[in-house]
């Protein structure tokens, strides 16, 4: 059944931010949208779209809830809410903006929408904390590698966390690297981040790193077939990880020891294939890491552990 609601009627009949949020949630639920690109509910998606469209802080809803909008603002907000329904594109593509750890990044259809758990881990006590840490002194890290960098967001976060490090960022897609180039220029870390086009470690020759971070493609073939339109809008190259989703992860595990310094380590996000990895690599002592919304989807391995597990 086709909805009778239109952007034009919404712009004419609604007046406040509260009105548009309620309307957005109703229409999103009616359209049975899928989420997962920075939000998980219809309400959060509507808040993101409405506040960003109005150039308001996305974390400060209450002060503006009952603000009345101008005619031009009503048209813009109604238009983007309906674009989310009509196109089924992720909200960050419609806005050309995504946030990781509160930091905005430019995105478009050339890159996967940033949503890695690694961002949360980099900003946690695991790096420079007082108790258990993976890297006790972030200032001691001299070289960092971000494999499958996409938009460049993790490379930029790494440059923040490791203030003395030179960061190499690699991606197979020239289009993705154009987006990363834009984000790096905006970040102010252009003097410390270098982009490389190529297949994993290939463009790096014999370089070694204190920390390697990677969020490679890891969606298995069955899941790829069942992806909703929101995820199909993303580049397949950035999602598909082979039959069981772990083809690229296996390649990284094989090649990483040659590119780590003696005290170096690998931080890898790989999805929900923990049981497969443990079965395939029974001698690897994976350290499974927890975030606010995941456990066992990111691991840390030192160079010594990787070499011992062969």
Is residue 2 scored above 60 in pLDDT? Answer: no
Segment 241-257 shows an average pLDDT of: 96
User: First and final CA of the chain: distance in angstroms?
Assistant: 57
pLDDT tens digits, one per residue of 89-137: 999 999 999 999 999 999 999 999 998 999 999 999 999 988 899 999 9
- Residue pair 21/56 in contact (Cβ under 8 Å)? The answer is no
The separation between CA 259 and the C-alpha centre of its own chain, rounded to angstroms, equals 24
Phi–psi pair at 3, nearest 5 degrees:
-70, 140
Rounded CA-CA distance 197/177 in Å is 7
Average pLDDT value for residue range 20-40: 97
CA angle 1, 40, 22 (to 5 degrees): 55
Q: What are phi and psi of 143, to 5 degrees?
A: -140, 135
CATH topology of domain 116-309: Rossmann fold (3.40.50)
Every domain range in the chain assigned CATH 3.40.50.150: 116-309
- DSSP of 179-242: HHHHHHHHHT-TTTEEEEESSTTGGGTT--EEEEEE----B-HHHHHT--HHHHTS-GGGTB--
pLDDT for position 272: 87
Does residue 21 surpass a pLDDT of 70? yes
* pLDDT tier at 1, thresholds 50, 70, 90: very low
Q: Are 10 and 81 in contact (CB under 8 A)?
A: yes
> Are 192 and 159 spatial neighbours (Cβ–Cβ below 8 Å)?
yes
Does residue 303 contact residue 261 with C-beta atoms inside 8 Å? Answer: yes
Strands (E), 123-214: 143-147, 166-171, 193-197, 209-214
155 in helix, strand or coil? helix
């Amino acid at each position: 059944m086709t909805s009778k609601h239109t952007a034009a009627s919404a712009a004419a009949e609604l007046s406040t931010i509260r009105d548009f949020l309620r309307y957005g949630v109703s229409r999103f639920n009616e359209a049975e949208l899928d989420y997962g690109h920075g939000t998980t509910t219809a309400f959060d998606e509507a808040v993101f779209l409405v506040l960003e469209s109005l150039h308001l802080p996305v974390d400060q809803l209450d002060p503006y809830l009952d603000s009345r909008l101008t005619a031009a603002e009503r048209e813009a907000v109604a238009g983007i809410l309906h674009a989310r329904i009509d196109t089924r594109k992720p909200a960050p593509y419609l806005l050309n903006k995504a946030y990781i750890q509160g930091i905005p990044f430019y995105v478009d259809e050339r890159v996967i929408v940033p949503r890695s758990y690694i961002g949360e881990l980099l900003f946690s006590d695991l790096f420079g904390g007082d108790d258990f840490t993976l890297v006790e002194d972030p200032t001691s890290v001299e070289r960092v590698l971000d494999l499958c960098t996409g938009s460049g967001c993790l490379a930029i976060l790494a440059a923040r966390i490791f203030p003395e490090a030179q960061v190499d960022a690699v991606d197979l897609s020239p289009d993705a690297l154009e987006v990363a180039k834009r984000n790096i220029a905006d970040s102010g870390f252009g003097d410390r981040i270098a982009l490389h086009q190529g297949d994993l470690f290939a463009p790096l020759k014999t370089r070694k790193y204190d920390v390697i971070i990677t969020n490679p493609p890891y969606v298995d073939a069955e899941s790829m077939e069942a992806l909703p339109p929101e995820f199909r809008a993303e580049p397949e190259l950035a999602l598909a990880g082979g039959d069981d989703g772990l083809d690229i992860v296996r390649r990284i595990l094989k090649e990483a020891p040659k590119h780590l310094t003696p005290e170096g380590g690998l931080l890898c996000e790989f999805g929900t294939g923990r049981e497969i990895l443990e079965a395939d690599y029974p001698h690897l002592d994976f350290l499974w890491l927890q975030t606010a919304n995941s456990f066992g989807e990111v691991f840390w391995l030192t160079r010594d552990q990787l070499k011992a597990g062969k």
